[in-house]
Amino acid sequence: MRWLVTGGVGFIGYHVSRALLTRGDEVSIADDFSDAPYPRAEKLRNERDLRAEFPSVTIARACVTDREAMAPLVAGCHGVLHLAGLAGVRPSFREPARYSRVNIEGSATMLELARAAGCNRFVFASSSSVYGNSTPLPAREDAPCVVPESPYAASKRAAELVTAAIGQIAREMPITALRFFTVYGPRQRPEMAITLFMRAVLAGRPITLFGDGSMRRDFTHVSDIAAGVLAAMDRAPAGFRAYNLGSGAPVTLRELVDQLERAASRRAVIEPANVPAGDVDATFADISRARDELGWTPKVALADGLETVRDWVSAHP
């Protein structure tokens, strides 16, 4: 198989691209190497590491909203894995129009190009953020997603709706939305909680804990996410279909800190703060659809996953 992976030098993109290359697939990567929210320096390191390990990989600098730049990259591919986009709840309040353009228009553009090029399938990154606070937990894919808590969440849900609508005239094509739940692991965005907290705890700096520590998150290790993405690329059925990829075992932020302390062998210094706008009370995935239809289940326990973050942070101060 030959895949175009957009956002392939980002956090999840690196791990999925590496997994595809490891199993022998051909991979072309498109990334605009923008600097936020994932730092450009991290993308450049991911690019260097991929090229060093897999000289056959091709990496182009292009933005998914640029139809002319993306069209020749899609040509000849069996499928498109669309991971590019703007992530982050809090930054989306500062640039809602940019988030809408990249996440909605970019997704529609890539699906249009994939169809025009005769690609066999289209898989793209959505988010657990689409559920908001109004969806009953554990969140199921067929539950209502109608009250987004941030422009980021709205843009991801809108991307799902647009691609599902396009799917009405492409019923034979698998169009698969993957709702990722709080992904962590080596190479994570440095401002995300687990990497940020681990660096602070190891250095003896305080960490900021929002609210009373009772917010729950369904933390999912990036290796499990990569396995789920490959399962969807291989097995998702024709038509539009959404899948939750999460651990299915949420923990409170207080419990997260306790496990971080054990992994770091150090006590955390905690500074409380108010919960920022857009943060949901809890994320909790019902993963039965991915298990039953894709044959996927997460394997990495939080304690083990935190050790991989500790090792990465220690090796890359």
Which of 157, 193, 156 minimizes the C-alpha distance to 276? 193
List 242's β-bridge partners, or say none. 177
Q: Which two tokens stand for residue 202?
A: 């190891």
Contact criterion met (CB below 8 Å) for 83 and 124: yes
What is the separation, in whole angstroms, between the first and last Cα of the chain? Answer: 37
CA 41 to CA 50: how far, in whole Å? Answer: 14
Considering Cα of 55, then 61, then 64, then 70, what sign does the dihedral take?
Answer: negative
**What is the DSSP-derived secondary structure letter of residue 167?**
G
Q: Give the DSSP H or E segment for 217.
A: strand 216-217
162 and 126 Cβ atoms separated by less than 8 Å? no
| Cross-strand partners of 208 | 271
- Name which of 283, 93, 79, 106 is nearest 179 in CA terms: 283
The answer to whether residue 152 is catalytic is yes
Residues 6+ apart with CB under 8 A from 12: 83, 125, 180, 183, 222, 225, 226, 229
Q: Which of 38, 99, 131, 152 is catalytic?
A: 152
- Contacts for 235 with CB less than 8 Å, ≥ 6 apart: 293, 294, 295
Q: Tokens standing for 283?
A: 């994320």
The two three-digit tokens of residue 41, written as one number = 């320096």
Question: What residues act catalytically?
Answer: 152
